[in-house]
Amino acid sequence: MADLDTAWNRLEDAAKAAGEKRIVEFFDHEPGRLSALTLDVAGLHLDLSKQAWDEAGLEAALDLAHAADVEGARARMFGGEAINSSEGRAVLHTALRAPADADFKALGQPVMADVDAVRVRMKAFADAVRSGEIKGATGKPFKAILHIGIGGSDLGPRLLWDALRPMKPSIDLRFIANVDGAEFALTTADMDPEETLVIVVSKTFTTQETLANASAARAWLVEALGESGANQHLAAISTALDKTAAFGVPNERVFGFWDWVGGRYSLWSSVSLSVAVACGWDVFQGFLDGGAAMDEHFRSAPLEKNAPVLVALAQIFNRNGLDRRARSVVPYSHRLRRLASFLQQLEMESNGKSVGPNGQPAARGTATVVFGDEGTNVQHAYFQCMHQGTDITPMELIGVAKSDEGPAGMHEKLLSNLLAQAEAFMVGRATEDVVAELKAKGVSEAEIATLAPQRTFAGNRPSTLVVLERLTPRTFGALIALYEHKTFVEGVIWRINSFDQWGVELGKVMAGRILPELESGATGQHDPSTTALIQRLKK
């Protein structure tokens, strides 16, 4: 096995060589390309054959994964070692979706009994709210849930709800994240406190935005129901049980999780209680099972047939080999439209780091910008730039093979767009074809000379396709776990800790200094621009 530096050099050389060729031509020279680069895992079909790597490039990427000891790191993660070294914590979101009899330990301590005890409480609570056994203070059943949280305490449950919500929910679910009074006012304007359960979700229970919204929600409940009535409408999810008690949430309405679950990996825990209530427990359990199926695959499949590893290596090939500094993720699914927002936190908070656990610089450039929205909408927005812009942005296009939702015929149209875009990105459109078409239409030679270059598509834009056989709780769980493990593999190869987030601290501290200055006091020491803005906004 090559050492890591040699493996990086080989990858960069291989990417340079592949980058000078056309992806579509790889298929002519590599008869095994499709079978090597397509996989079926846990209800997902992955096609990485439209990626920029040729056979030598893929081999170099796999060598890099071996040289970085992805397999060893994977064993340390599943083994509950303190791989989040800056916080001395294990990383065990995989335990949250494992069956009760699985053997997971965090830093040597068994965790499954605690995990299952919380799941049992969550299920009992979800069932009781849904059946009306748990009611509001005035005896009315809950018809709506207000989920308050931000970042990992919001993005996952929000996506989960969109992906799996019933057509006509018996319990509606709304989310508030931002510390912007407008969001609170707009969201609660047509809600009835008598029929609303407020679930406050904060791992630390110190997050400014969440506490501000939680206090506003409590005041909103108290106004309608009085102090003791309000408490009956509260539940909380946190690892800080002392703080939830101080906020007034009855103990039996507090659901814990553990410091070995990072915020952006917490949607498998009680953080998604609101979704479990609004969708029903079976839906949530199906989601957990799908995640567990992907874990099983990630843990046992050899690297060359391992879906999260291959998706990570395609990213590394593009990012480090070909210097592509952004990636777009486009689900051709309205239900998955928030996937890119979720991945922004998952990938950019996990891997947006420049130094590794020993303070050494990262091996190479790390997380890229991730952006995206739902197809086909984005075809009428930023896809012009994806097809003909000066920079090449690799894409992940996600589709759902079968869907019975909505009017007949629409799903095939959606799928045809998905496939057409992936093909167009790779194949492009040659100038000769454009010239022939214009000639056939009788366009003059002079006009053709100016029009043809503008209508030419260079193609050679790499993409990965992920197709869910259906959008079910299981396939959705498998999809999210795929991205989690992809993020982990990248972090291992880049030699960074994917599980801390010191980068979000500085802004919080500085906002804490500026707030009293805005509210009243004298302006403190700042740069001239900030000082001028504080003085202006104070007025």
**What amino acid positions are annotated as catalytic residues?**
349, 380, 508
From the CB of 519, what's the least distance to ligand F6P, in Å? Answer: 23
Our finding on whether 150 is near ligand F6P (CB under 6 A) is: yes
* CB 242 to ligand F6P: min, Å: 14
Selected from 94, 202, 328, 463, the binder of ligand F6P by CB under 6 A is: 202
Count, residues near ligand F6P per rule CB under 6 A: 14
Q: Which of 100, 420, 504, 510 binds ligand F6P (CB under 6 A)?
A: 504
Q: Which of 263, 280, 291, 308 binds ligand F6P (CB under 6 A)?
A: 263
Of 264, 335, 411, 461, the one binding ligand F6P (CB under 6 A) is 264
Query: Rule CB under 6 A: which of 82-111 touch ligand F6P?
Result: none
- Residues 220, 195: Cα–Cα separation, whole Å: 13
CB of 511 to ligand F6P, least distance (A): 12
Residue 207 contacts ligand F6P per CB under 6 A: yes
Query: How far apart are alpha carbons 364 and 5 in whole angstroms?
Result: 11
Which x/- pattern, by CB under 6 A, does the window 217-256 give for ligand F6P? ----------------------------------------
Residue 235 DSSP SS3: strand
Whether the link from the prior residue into 376 is cis, omega within 30° of 0, is yes
Shortest separation between residue 264's beta carbon and ligand F6P, angstroms: 5
Choose among 195, 194, 213: nearest CA to 205: 213
Q: What's the 3-state SS for 466-518?
A: EEEEECCHHHHHHHHHHHHHHHHHHHHHHCCCCCCCHHHHHHHHHHHHHHHHH
- Cα torsion angle, 226, 232, 233, 234, sign: positive
Tell the smallest beta-carbon distance from residue 206 to ligand F6P (Å): 7
User: Residue 144 in contact with residue 174, Cβ under 8 Å?
Assistant: yes
- State in angstroms the smallest separation of the CB of 122 from ligand F6P: 17
**CA–CA separation, 431 and 468 (whole Å):** 35
The Cα 428–Cα 177 span in angstroms is 41
Q: Draw the binding track, 482-501, toward ligand F6P (x: CB under 6 A; -: no contact).
A: -------------------x
Q: What are the Cα distances from residue 510, in Å, to 116, 202, 470, 514, 515?
A: 40, 21, 46, 6, 9
Helix, strand or coil for residue 106?
strand
CB nearer to ligand F6P: pick between 58 and 211: 211
The span of 61-69, 201-209, 326-334, 519-527 binding ligand F6P (CB under 6 A) equals: 201-209
Query: Near ligand F6P by CB under 6 A, which window of 106-114, 144-152, 333-341, 378-386?
Result: 144-152
Q: Report the C-alpha gap between 99 and 128 in whole angstroms.
A: 23
Examine residue 10 and tell whether it contacts ligand F6P (CB under 6 A).
no
Pick the closer one to ligand F6P by CB: 109 or 204: 204
| Of residues 402-421, those binding ligand F6P (CB under 6 A) | none
Among 130, 203, 353, 485, the residue binding ligand F6P under the rule CB under 6 A is 203
β-bridge mates for residue 174, sequence order = 146
Q: Out of 204, 215, 228, 360, name the contact with ligand F6P by CB under 6 A.
A: 204
Residue (75 or 504) nearer to ligand F6P, CB: 504
Cα distance between residue 320 and residue 4, in whole Å:
14
Of residues 326 through 365, those in contact with ligand F6P by CB under 6 A are 349
Given 152, 372, 375, 473, the residue binding ligand F6P (CB under 6 A):
152
Q: Is 423 helix (H, G, I), strand (E, B) or coil?
A: helix
Nearest CA to 335 out of 303, 299, 375 is that of 375
Minimum CB distance to ligand F6P smaller for 63 or for 490: 490
Q: Which residue, among 108, 115, 37, 82, has the nearest Cα to 292 in the 3D structure?
A: 115
Residue partners of 161: CB distance under 8 A and separation at least 6: 173, 175, 274, 275, 278, 279
Minimum separation from the CB atom of position 80 to ligand F6P (A): 21
Residues that bind ligand F6P (CB under 6 A): 150-153, 202-204, 207, 210, 263-264, 349, 501, 504
